[in-house]
Chains A and B, each alone.
Chain A
């Protein structure tokens, strides 16, 4: 059966999909030369040309395709349906009313997308037409890039960009290497070395290159930038030689050739099949919580709409049961109408009511929300405070859809290296067999073992140790992938390490390695260069030692170690291995393991990154075996990685431990302050790192994630070895819950100083045990739940030893927990990408580890500290803004449509619209759209500085608090109330009273009667003014733009009404609104009633606001009051948080490394905090203890004011 299927599939794919899709490898004839006869025949495949198509549309398919795309959106489709209904049946409003806005929206979107696509076309064209040099018949020919074909041999010169994915055949350098930066691909600006195929590297001119006769077999294109397997068959003397090809031979499109004069390479993947093009794929779109609420509201309003239409239809037929009402003599139907079946009539009526009320869900809401998000995101990009001088980078917004989500974050998942820390490595010390070497203590190449007082140090290493010491230094000089870069001009000044004649410095993709090699230099061993696969080292005696580099067992995050195999000039083979302690110790057979281990742990606690170094002497036989293993694995086309890993595993064993190194990674500027602010804002901060537990924990302490009084709960392999996972979990949950039950349920408990907060440490291995799906016993299924329960009660969690995928797993776990919290992931490296993509909001740090995180993130910031402003200020603002936008939009449409609904009761349910067509059409697109858009762009309910100073304000908007159902219902009820006031106000003025114009405007003193359009215009005028004033009342930040737009839109309404009424354009005289507005304004009672109705509509909301503010003020409102009252004094006041935080972050670990042994500033802090709290517990009202309020009150209470100033000096240590 299975066989049948696969054959069938092959057949189908062969005939339907095209050949290249079913062949899992491709064969390329270099220079299009057929292989010699006799070799196995390959299936000739067709490859695409080298045209890059990033555009979505062509000139011909733009309109249909774009229309299709746009109408796939539910909202647009809904409006299309309404429009079609209006076209087909006899509806109360003309199709223009919904057609025009829809047309407008569709056109604007289409123009925008068309323009973007045009830009893409232009970019594509310039890329596709750019010239490339191709070797043809021994000559270099210029070709347009798009005409490049698979198999062409290409000549690339220095600083040129590769036109497609190429296999490197030969370079201008003797050793067959070339340097490449992939900055535009993954942002890694370091120079990477690529290698030419060994057997072709000698072919250095176009003539020679043209004579190469070979074929390449490789896998079909796949998007992974770092993976490639292939094989080259070279036909020399008709004897094919097969050589492996790996990613080190593959030059990717988009990368740039550096430091190499020229190269020859053969195209293997072209056009849309290059790895760069395959990486174009857009990631799935994230949607914010606000958008979800909005959609929920939409459903509610859709239900309201349908029920309104339904109620009216039913009532119509109930009411018409009396034939005189149905068809009084003055309102007879036409014959065709009479003959229509009642069901059809009822259905048409239902549709007509739907059309009449459809404005309750306006098109413009979507447009406004989109514009708000798009334009609003500019404020993030423009923010000067988020500009980093050092990097010259500003914040980048990749997705503007999530602006408001920044104000909703509950969990922050942060990477450690490069995110919390600077990823600026500094070599601190190394330890050989327990002897500590500190570079500072070296004078003239004389090693002075480290400072006294460290119990580990044996000040006089014996002669046996001497040998190990040298071996250790050599190991570090040899076991790395660092390149020596000569003479690079940076900032106009020649930087570098002055090294005899030439100026050079080290580059590597891993900053740790550079730190180590530089550290070694300071200890006397200088790595000079790699030449002809010989590594040259300048030793302490200024002698050059040469080692032949035989194999590099590259680093990967699973093994967490790397090795080199070298042959010394004396012919001895060595394997040097360096890696994380956990990956080295199990493989060590001898050496002073205990001493080194102790030192490693000591360093890790200090927050240093440690690596262990070991070696293994190899006999020539062993080396042969190793060679065999490796080449076997490397030549494999399938499962090459797996086989390589197995080979590495076999080779890296029986090691002899040499020692360990310690490298420091400084905390980023203000990292601690930022974390503290996030904590105060009610966010839970989790650190997810691949580092070892001790190092990570130290960083957590330094960054104030853990405090001195934090009780640390450990969930690590060490503990689970002693107890079963089950018991540990239950133990922990018991501890946490006991504490939790003991204290009173207080939302702000996280801040109170007395109760211990918990910090959890978990490692990757234990995590995967926890996450393992239930298999044998049913109990294990609960692990996840228990784990989550523990996590929920911990203020900080540290996950160490995490694999990248595990990071995403954690985020997913929290996302899926029952409260569905909003998560944010922040990281800087490729290993954070998975978690950045998984979290609700992904933030990339423009760090040293390349651009991958930035490219995949929703927002990118230069430094971790910018997260504070991003969340506390921008996030807060955008949340406030968009929630008001959404609520207000629904409100104003209830106000708009509900009177029309009420009117049906007074016009015999005949679908008579209350408002004129122009008003129906323009209400949402022009009369009331700009003020709310502007509000949603520049509203600031609280000063920006206060938001930053007082993170606890963030809690006010947590959990989507402004879009909860009660608030939504309040707005809707308010809308209904306003609608009732407006409608019945007008009704009572018209009904049985002589609400008429006294006509003084035009002729004699006449009492002219008003008709139905005047009625509607009166309601509409009150409506426009009311909803605009309502927004004005909600505006807390009146810039001149607000004044301009709010008053401007009211003036526009009046002007439009006059114009539409024929004042300015007399040719509008035939239409029904002719002079209606003017006549209405000529009537005194109209003015009076407009004023009255506006006041009556706004009254309850104002009263509610004032009373709520007095009775149940939110923190925000308290601050607003305080801000108002104490504006003058505010500037002099520096609140607690900002007083000590920057001073700590600034001084700690800045300047000299010795500082880390001075824990004093840390210690004083909880103490001073306690003072604050005891003083302030008297007024239970101020349970949040926001600094500003403390101040605000302090000014009033002289006694407490002293208390504050008493605490002040202590905090500012």
Chain B
């Protein structure tokens, strides 16, 4: 009796799991599944690819380089680093209605916003309005933590210091003069950046919070005076500042400057001649960079993006080709056996 009990005690549990016999689906990558699968995926991808490609084609993009490297460029005079408060005007014409809403970008190339030391050089607490960090910014901000007279810099760090400071004004040339194209500078940054992540200290007026601090060395105006027209667009929640603070992934990037959504231009930029007035402040030639402005509109799938459409077409056709190859391989090596 005892032995019997022992036996059953030692006997392993006879369940499907312990015996490794759980019911299972056992799929096999056989030609019968893969070839039709590939054809289906291929067709779907080609379809998406065509749609993307056509959409992308319909998007209008206008790029204007205003670095002023070439001597015939209107901004050539500004490219000299000694020129202060230089302004230049770029004329261009639009031959076809530039459908709205039109987005106005500035673009920089050969500019490494993704340097590690650069990206780390800011003080998140300061930027979320912590007044303690106004007086003593975090040491990550070096070398733009204190100025030469040991006053704290607010906003501190490399990223803030190097904020893009060219400004643009767009005019349509109409008979009898220039008509300014109104720019909309609201909502160009991430909603969460504007509303949650970056905060001004709750000091009224905002200027007082900055007592005892200095503006970043490169800046011409302090942070609380970035936008004289709109008090809600100053300090750390200035839209241009927020756009700049979101670092670009790659050395050639563009950032949104304004949207053209108002007045006569809500439907787009009509055919005609235009003039772009640029306040040329930002030096790029020292590191061999380029500056440009870009006008573009968008579709359901974002901006102009031919790569995605082409990639879909390529992968889709590769699927089809592969399915044909597999079919041939199977016909040649498999089917004789199966007849």
**Which chain A residues have a beta carbon within 8 Å of chain B's beta carbons?**
92, 324-325, 328-335, 378-379, 381-385, 387, 389, 392-394, 490-492, 877, 906-908, 910-913, 938, 940, 944, 985, 987-999, 1002-1012, 1014-1016, 1033, 1036-1042, 1062, 1066, 1069-1071, 1074-1075, 1079, 1083-1085, 1088-1089, 1092, 1095-1096, 1099, 1102-1103, 1105-1107, 1109-1111, 1120-1121, 1124, 1179, 1181, 1193, 1196
- C-alpha gap A332/B322 in the complex (Å): 52
Contact A1003 B191 (CB under 8 A): yes
* A1036: chain B residues within 8 A (beta carbon): 26-28
* A1007: chain B residues within 8 A (beta carbon): 103, 256, 298, 302-303
Contact B12 A907 (CB under 8 A): no
Whether, in the assembled complex, B171 has its beta carbon less than 8 Å from a beta carbon of chain A, the answer is no
Contact of A384 among B11, B52, B142, B259 (CB under 8 A): B11
- C-alpha gap A1116/B297 in the complex (Å): 57
Contact B125 A1070 (CB under 8 A): yes
* B13: chain A residues within 8 A (beta carbon): 382
Number of interface residues of B (CB under 8 A): 100
Whether, in the assembled complex, B69 has its beta carbon less than 8 Å from a beta carbon of chain A, the answer is no
The smallest C-beta distance from B293 to any residue of chain A, in angstroms, reads: 14
For chain B residues 287-313, which have a beta carbon within 8 Å of chain A?
287-288, 296, 298, 300-308, 311-312
A382-B12, A1012-B247, A1109-B30 given as contacts; is B305 within 8 A of A994 (CB)?
yes
Contact B305 A993 (CB under 8 A): yes
Most buried by A among B118, B161, B259, B330: B118
* Given A492-B1, A908-B251, 14 other A-B residues pairs in contact with their CB atoms under 8 A: A334-B142, A335-B143, A378-B18, A392-B11, A394-B12, A1003-B191, A1007-B303, A1011-B247, A1015-B249, A1074-B196, A1084-B302, A1089-B308, A1095-B315, A1099-B319
Contact A1105 B250 (CB under 8 A): no
A387-B11, A1074-B192, A1110-B333 given as contacts; is B248 within 8 A of A1011 (CB)?
yes
Contact of B3 among A381, A392, A1069, A1107 (CB under 8 A): A392
- C-alpha gap A1016/B337 in the complex (Å): 49
Number of A-B contacts (CB under 8 A): 280
Contact A394 B28 (CB under 8 A): no
Contact A325 B287 (CB under 8 A): yes
* 9 A-B pairs closest in CB distance: A994-B303, A1015-B249, A330-B162, A392-B7, A382-B18, A1002-B191, A328-B287, A1012-B249, A907-B114
Contact A1095 B45 (CB under 8 A): yes
* A1006: chain B residues within 8 A (beta carbon): 187-188, 256, 259
* A993: chain B residues within 8 A (beta carbon): 303-308
The smallest C-beta distance from A1022 to any residue of chain B, in angstroms, reads: 13
The smallest C-beta distance from B155 to any residue of chain A, in angstroms, reads: 15
Contact A1069 B197 (CB under 8 A): yes
Whether, in the assembled complex, B77 has its beta carbon less than 8 Å from a beta carbon of chain A, the answer is no
Closest to B18 in A: A382
Whether, in the assembled complex, B112 has its beta carbon less than 8 Å from a beta carbon of chain A, the answer is yes
Contact B250 A989 (CB under 8 A): no
Whether, in the assembled complex, B21 has its beta carbon less than 8 Å from a beta carbon of chain A, the answer is yes
- C-alpha gap A995/B290 in the complex (Å): 20
Contact A1103 B114 (CB under 8 A): no
* B189: chain A residues within 8 A (beta carbon): 1008
- C-alpha gap A1121/B34 in the complex (Å): 14
The smallest C-beta distance from B108 to any residue of chain A, in angstroms, reads: 10
Contact of A389 among B7, B45, B251, B254 (CB under 8 A): B7
* B334: chain A residues within 8 A (beta carbon): 1110
16 cross-chain CB contacts under 8 A:
A329-B287, A331-B118, A381-B12, A910-B115, A911-B116, A995-B305, A998-B298, A998-B302, A1003-B187, A1036-B26, A1039-B24, A1070-B197, A1106-B34, A1109-B30, A1111-B333, A1124-B26
* A1071: chain B residues within 8 A (beta carbon): 124
* B203: chain A residues within 8 A (beta carbon): none
The proximity string for B residues 176-200 relative to A, scoring 1 for CB distances below 8 Å and 0 otherwise, is 0000000000011111100011000
The proximity string for B residues 306-339 relative to A, scoring 1 for CB distances below 8 Å and 0 otherwise, is 1110011001001100100110011001100110
Contact A1092 B315 (CB under 8 A): yes
Whether, in the assembled complex, B286 has its beta carbon less than 8 Å from a beta carbon of chain A, the answer is yes
The smallest C-beta distance from A911 to any residue of chain B, in angstroms, reads: 5
A333-B143, A907-B112, A994-B305 given as contacts; is B28 within 8 A of A1120 (CB)?
yes
A1102-B29, A1107-B326, A1110-B333 given as contacts; is B161 within 8 A of A330 (CB)?
yes
* B12: chain A residues within 8 A (beta carbon): 381-384, 387, 394
Most buried by A among B19, B115, B125: B115
- C-alpha gap A975/B186 in the complex (Å): 44
* A331: chain B residues within 8 A (beta carbon): 112, 115, 117-118, 158, 162
Contact A1124 B287 (CB under 8 A): no
- C-alpha gap A334/B141 in the complex (Å): 10
- C-alpha gap A414/B68 in the complex (Å): 87
Contact B302 A997 (CB under 8 A): yes
For chain B residues 220-252, which have a beta carbon within 8 Å of chain A?
243, 246-252
Contact A1099 B112 (CB under 8 A): no
Most buried by A among B7, B48, B252: B7
Contact of B303 among A324, A378, A996, A1196 (CB under 8 A): A996
- C-alpha gap A1037/B28 in the complex (Å): 10
For chain B residues 88-137, which have a beta carbon within 8 Å of chain A?
101, 103, 111-119, 124-125, 128
Whether, in the assembled complex, B202 has its beta carbon less than 8 Å from a beta carbon of chain A, the answer is no
Contact A324 B26 (CB under 8 A): no
- C-alpha gap A959/B338 in the complex (Å): 32
Whether, in the assembled complex, B283 has its beta carbon less than 8 Å from a beta carbon of chain A, the answer is yes
The proximity string for B residues 25-42 relative to A, scoring 1 for CB distances below 8 Å and 0 otherwise, is 111111100100000010
A910-B112, A1095-B315, A1110-B329 given as contacts; is B303 within 8 A of A1088 (CB)?
no
Whether, in the assembled complex, B215 has its beta carbon less than 8 Å from a beta carbon of chain A, the answer is no
- C-alpha gap A1039/B311 in the complex (Å): 36
- C-alpha gap A944/B7 in the complex (Å): 26
* A335: chain B residues within 8 A (beta carbon): 143
Contact A1088 B301 (CB under 8 A): yes
Most buried by B among A492, A995, A1006: A1006
Contact A1085 B125 (CB under 8 A): no
* A1181: chain B residues within 8 A (beta carbon): 337
Contact A1099 B322 (CB under 8 A): yes
Contact A1039 B30 (CB under 8 A): no
Contact B119 A912 (CB under 8 A): yes
- C-alpha gap A334/B34 in the complex (Å): 58
Contact A1088 B308 (CB under 8 A): yes
The smallest C-beta distance from B258 to any residue of chain A, in angstroms, reads: 11
Contact B303 A995 (CB under 8 A): yes
Contact A992 B326 (CB under 8 A): no
- C-alpha gap A911/B333 in the complex (Å): 50
* B303: chain A residues within 8 A (beta carbon): 993-996, 1007
- C-alpha gap A110/B307 in the complex (Å): 52
Contact B305 A989 (CB under 8 A): yes
Whether, in the assembled complex, B205 has its beta carbon less than 8 Å from a beta carbon of chain A, the answer is no
Whether, in the assembled complex, B22 has its beta carbon less than 8 Å from a beta carbon of chain A, the answer is yes
Closest to B121 in A: A331
Contact A1075 B192 (CB under 8 A): yes
* B298: chain A residues within 8 A (beta carbon): 994, 996, 998, 1005, 1007
Contact A1037 B187 (CB under 8 A): no
The smallest C-beta distance from B141 to any residue of chain A, in angstroms, reads: 10
- C-alpha gap A686/B115 in the complex (Å): 66
* B7: chain A residues within 8 A (beta carbon): 389, 392
* B115: chain A residues within 8 A (beta carbon): 331, 907-908, 910, 912
The smallest C-beta distance from B19 to any residue of chain A, in angstroms, reads: 6
Whether, in the assembled complex, B149 has its beta carbon less than 8 Å from a beta carbon of chain A, the answer is no
A938-B22, A1010-B249, A1011-B248 given as contacts; is B161 within 8 A of A1005 (CB)?
no
The smallest C-beta distance from A1171 to any residue of chain B, in angstroms, reads: 22
Contact B117 A944 (CB under 8 A): no
Contact B190 A1075 (CB under 8 A): yes
The smallest C-beta distance from B229 to any residue of chain A, in angstroms, reads: 20
The smallest C-beta distance from B303 to any residue of chain A, in angstroms, reads: 2
Whether, in the assembled complex, B72 has its beta carbon less than 8 Å from a beta carbon of chain A, the answer is no
